A = this chain, B = another copy of it.
Amino acid sequence: MNVESYMIELGQRAREASRLMARADTGRKNAALQYMAEAIEAGRARLAQANREDLDNGRTNGLDAAMLDRLELTPARIDTMVEGLRQVAALADPIGGINGMNYRPSGIQVGKMRVPLGVIGIIYESRPNVTVEAASLCLKAGNATILRGGSEAIQSNRAIAACIAEGLKRAGLPETAVQVVETTDRAAVGQLITMPEYVDVIVPRGGKGLIERISREARVPVIKHLDGICHVYIDSDAERAKAINIALNAKTHRYGTCNTMETLLVDGAVAAQMLPELGDVYRQAGVELRGCERTRALLPDALPASEEDWSTEYLAPILAVRVVDGLDEAIEHINRYGSHHTDAIVTENYSKSRRFLREVDSSSVMVNASTRFADGFEYGLGAEIGISTDKIHARGPVGLEGLTSEKYVVLGDGHIRQ
C-alpha cells in the first residue's frame, strides 16, 4: 500500500472514531486515561527496551547529544508520563458544557455547547513523551488523534501507542481514537496536512523550521507556535526592587523557553538609576548584554546591539537592552519588533499599566510579573499542548479548551420564522 492510501485509511478510521469519542462519557474517557497510566506502569520494561533500540539506532545514525537526550525515556520521564495521564483524568471535562442559554424575542432559547474539534493531527520531533501528552489532552477533549512523531523515535512511539490502545480498549473506547503513523516515510506528513475531509486541525510541535514548513503547505488549519521575542519594560514609575527581580527572573529563570525575555526596555528617566544595578546582576548571572547607544553610555561593558538584535530570539544567556523615552516608544518597539507572545511592564502607575494592557498586541500582557508565567499550568489550564502565537482560534497557552469548538443549541416548542 502506498503512503497516500495508508494515510487516507488512518484518516477515515480517525474520522469514524471521532464520532464515537464526541459522545463518550466523561467517566469512560477518564477510565481510559487511568488504564493507559496502568499500562505504561506495567510496560516499563518493554518501553525501556524499545527506547534502547531507538537510542542505538540514533547513535549509529550519528544523532547529536542534545537529540539523543530528548529521545531518551528515563525512568523519571516515564513517571512524568504516568503522572500526566492522571492529571488529565482529573481535569474537568469541557465537552457538552452549555453557556449563555437565553430566551430570544421570538421565543426560542439560544446557547452554545462546547464540542470536540474532531480529528487532530500532531506532528512532533524526537521526544517520545509528547505521544502521551498530546494524546491524553486530545482524548479528554473528545477528539481522535493521529500522531506523527520523529522517525528516530519510532520504536518508543510504537510501544507507547500499544499502552494507549490497551487503555482505550479496556475502557470500551475505539482503539483508533489514537493512531500512531507507522511509516517513517516523509510523504506521510505531506498527506496528513492536506486532507481536510479527515483532519480538522494540525498541531505541530517542534522547531520554527518545521512549523513554518507545515503552515505553508497545510490545507488544514494549523495551531502554531512560532517564536517568543518577549519584552520587559521598566517604566519611570517602576518600583526598583520589583523591576530588578522581574528583569532578572524573566531572563535567567530558564534560557531556552519561549516566554523568556529577549529584550529589556528601560525608560530614559530611570535608566541611570536602574541600568548599573541591572548590569551587575546580569554580569553575576553570566548574561551577555547587547545595548543601544544610551545603554552603552551607562554600561560600557555591553556590546553594541544591531538592528537585528531587536528581533532575535536568543534562547541563550544574551539580552538586548534599549533605553526608550516613555510608554509610547516602549509600546511602539514591542509591537514592531516583538513576536506578539508575552510582554510585561513594571510600573506603579495606574494609567500607564492600563494603556500597556490594552495597546500591546501580544498573546499575554502583564503588569509587574515575570514573562515566565506565560504557561498553561501557571494560568490554571491544567496542562497545555503548546503556546499559540496565532490570533485565530486559540491564542497563548492552549489547554483543553483550545482543542474544542462550540456549536449553537436552539430549543423551541414548535417555533417557526415569521
Interface residues of A in 105-131 (CB under 8 A from B): 106, 108, 110, 113, 115, 117-118
Mask of A322-335 contacts with B, CB within 8 angstroms, 1/0:
00000000000001
List chain B residues, Cβ under 8 A from A242.
Answer: 413-414
In the assembled complex, A379 has its CB within 8 A of some CB on chain B: yes
Partner pick for A373 among B23, B250, B380, B417, CB 8 A cutoff: B417
Q: Complex formed: what's the CA distance from A160 to B253 in Å?
A: 55
CB–CB B357/A409 < 8 A: yes
- The verdict on A405 contacting chain B, using a C-beta distance below 8 Å, is yes
* Chain B residues positioned under 8 Å from A407 (CB to CB): 361-365, 395-396
Q: Is the CB of A392 within 8 A of B200?
A: yes
Interface residue? A318 (CB, 8 A): no
Contact of A392 among B248, B370, B393 (CB under 8 A): B393
**Pick the contact of A380 from B110, B253, B392, B409 — CB < 8 Å?**
B110
Contacting residue for A110 out of B22, B379, B391, CB 8 A: B379
A241 and B414 contact, CB distance less than 8 A: yes
The complex places the Cα of A395 from the Cα of B114 at a distance, in Å, of 11
Is A300 interfacial (CB 8 A cutoff)? Answer: no
Q: Convert A257-294 into 0s and 1s, putting 1 for each residue whose CB lies closer than 8 angstroms to a CB of B.
A: 00000000000000000000000000000000000000
Q: A359-B23, A365-B410 are in contact. Are A102 and B380 (CB under 8 A)?
A: yes
Q: Residue on B with the closest CB to A113?
A: B357
Q: Which residues of A contact B (CB under 8 A)?
A: 19, 22-23, 96, 102, 104, 106, 108, 110, 113, 115, 117-118, 200-201, 216, 219, 221, 239, 241-242, 245-246, 248-250, 253, 335, 344, 355, 357-359, 361-370, 372-374, 378-380, 390-393, 395-397, 405-417
Min CB–CB distance A119 → chain B (angstroms): 10
CB atoms of B391 and A200 under 8 A apart: yes
Known interface pairs A372-B416, A414-B245, A417-B373. Does A365 touch B408 (Cβ–Cβ under 8 Å)? yes
Instruction: Compute how far the CA of A365 lies from the CA of B110 in the bound complex, rounded to whole angstroms.
Output: 10
Given A102-B380, A358-B96, A363-B407, verify A415-B200 contact (CB < 8 Å).
no
Chain B, residue nearest A404 (CB): B391
Check A417–B370 contact: CB distance below 8 A. Answer: yes
Q: Are A392 and B408 in contact, CB atoms less than 8 angstroms apart?
A: no
Contacts of A358 in B (CB 8 A): 22-23, 96, 113
The chain B residue sitting closest to A248, CB to CB, is B416
A413 to B118, CA, bound (A): 41
How many monomers of this chain does the complex have? 2
Q: Are A369 and B409 in contact (CB under 8 A)?
A: no
Question: Are B410 and A364 within 8 A (Cβ)?
Answer: yes
Q: Which residues from chain B contact A415 at a C-beta distance below 8 Å? A: 246, 368-370, 373
Contact across chains for A413 and B106 when beta carbons are under 8 A apart: no
Decide if B369 touches A412 in the complex (CB within 8 Å): yes
Is B367 within 8 A of A410, CB to CB? Answer: yes
In the complex, are the beta carbons of B380 and A408 less than 8 A apart? no
Ordered by A's residue number, 11 sampled pairs between the chains whose C-beta atoms are within 8 Å are: A22-B359, A23-B358, A118-B361, A200-B391, A216-B219, A246-B416, A253-B417, A368-B414, A373-B417, A374-B408, A395-B407
Q: Give the docked Cα–Cα distance between A239 and B200 (Å).
A: 37
- In the complex, the chain B residue whose C-beta lies closest to that of A390 is B221
Known pairs A108-B378, A358-B96, A373-B106; A408 contacts B363 (CB<8 A): yes
Q: B417–A249 contact, CB under 8 A? A: yes
CB distance B246 to A410 under 8 Å?
no
Taking a contact as CB atoms under 8 Å apart, the answer to whether A412 and B368 are in contact is yes
A227 CB to closest chain B CB (Å) equals 15
17 other A-B residue contacts (CB within 8 Å) besides A364-B407, A369-B412: A22-B358, A23-B355, A102-B380, A108-B369, A110-B378, A242-B414, A361-B407, A364-B408, A366-B409, A366-B410, A366-B412, A367-B411, A369-B410, A369-B416, A378-B417, A391-B405, A396-B408
